[in-house]
Structure 1
Amino acid sequence: MRRAAFLLLLPLAACGGASDADYNRVDVPEKEAEAQNAIDAAVAQNGAASTARAGVPVAATPRNAARDRALPKDFQGYWGVTPNDCELANTNATGRINVDADRIRFFESRARVVDVVSRSTYAVTVDLRFEGEGQTWQRRTALSLENGGTALVRTETPVGSGAAPATTRYQRC
């Protein structure tokens, strides 16, 4: 019986001594460590109860020109007027658009965001500079999300022409 117990403990002894183990060391990703440090600093300054009620102050992201012209992430992606437009293999999808952070690509043209005029959770109005078929032009464009973000409505107003706005509805691909 003693020999059986000894044989069971032998593999444990081969793993190394207790000095090799550091049970208090935990690797934490850098962003999580920064967040925990911010929480600890807020608790040290304001107390635990006050921090729990008010939350931890978050540093504002510095403004820059590219971020100011960026379309919100919920608007980005592929959109199509018809289900056929959403077939990426369909190279003749004239109703498909691809909305990126600072541009919109159409079938025969592309537009770059010049300025964000207004922005809210489900709507953004931008001034776009278009290029296509050897020409350039500008339009003020209102984009809005409907049906829980599955539909995009684009309303374009030609700049300085007095023409009526044109509205196009898309479905998320």
Structure 2
Amino acid sequence: MKRSLLPATVPLVMLLAACSGASDNAAAPEPAETMMPVEPDGGVGDGAGPPEGLGTPAIPAPFYGVWDYVDGSCAPESDLRIEIRPESIGFYESLGELTAIDIASPDDITVTLAMEGEGETWDMQRRFVLSDDGATLTPQPVGEESFEPMPLKKCE
């Protein structure tokens, strides 16, 4: 008779043992199941933004706006007029999408642009230097490109 009770009591004893001391371990999720919070911009939920260099490059705000040659009219048809936005620069009959930027100081940047205009595409680098008062912007050549820097005024 002892033999018939033994098989029935073993599962009962194992069930009780599993319920009694294992409750602390059962509440903790397995490491593979732990959720990691993610912020809206894709950063880890620790308050940090994306790692350096992985975000989209952007031109600093003091450079934004419409600029034209200091003696220009600021009219859309002015051939020296440019429009600077965070990720692009519009020139007369062409548009450059920002692909890289080197910020030497708050008033001195060099941009690399993927240009498109009049059915053609090309890459261009251009340096832009703001005056101390932020009212004048001077484009300057980079590398082998050569032109006389012509100061631009900010248009209203």
Three-state SS of the structure 1 residue aligned to 2:133 is helix
Residue 65 of structure 1 aligns with which residue? 55
Residue 172 of structure 1 aligns with which residue? 154
Q: Is the 8 A contact 1:85 1:95 kept in 2?
A: no
Residue 107 of structure 1 aligns with which residue? 92
User: Could you tell me the TM-score, scaled by structure 2's length?
Assistant: 0.60
Aligned identity (percent) is 26
Q: Which has the larger radius of gyration?
A: 2
Which structure has the highest helix share of the two? 1
Q: Is the 8 A contact 2:67 2:154 kept in 1?
A: yes
Which of 118, 122, 126 does residue 103 from structure 2 map onto? Answer: 118
Q: Is the 8 A contact 1:85 1:94 kept in 2?
A: no
Distance, in Å, in 1 between the alignment partners of 2:149 and 2:48 is 36
Instruction: Provide the alpha-carbon RMSD of the alignment.
Output: 2.2
CA deviation after TM superposition for structure 1 residue 125, in Å: 1.1
Q: Is the 8 A contact 1:124 1:143 kept in 2?
A: yes
Distance, in Å, in 1 between the alignment partners of 2:96 and 2:145 is 19
Distance, in Å, in 2 between the alignment partners of 1:147 and 1:156 is 20
**Residue 139 (1) aligns with residue 124 (2):** yes
Q: Is the 8 A contact 1:157 1:166 kept in 2?
A: no
Instruction: Kindly provide the amino acid, as one letter, of the partner of residue 149 in structure 2.
Output: T
Q: Is the 8 A contact 2:70 2:151 kept in 1?
A: no
Instruction: Kindly provide the amino acid, as one letter, of the partner of residue 121 in structure 1.
Output: P
**Residue 157 (1) aligns with residue 146 (2):** no
Structure 1 runs (4+) greater than 6 angstroms displaced: none
Structure 1 residues 60 and 143: CA distance shift in structure 2, 3 A = farther
**Residue 74 (1) aligns with residue 62 (2):** yes
Distance, in Å, in 1 between the alignment partners of 2:48 and 2:138 is 31
Aligned residues: 107
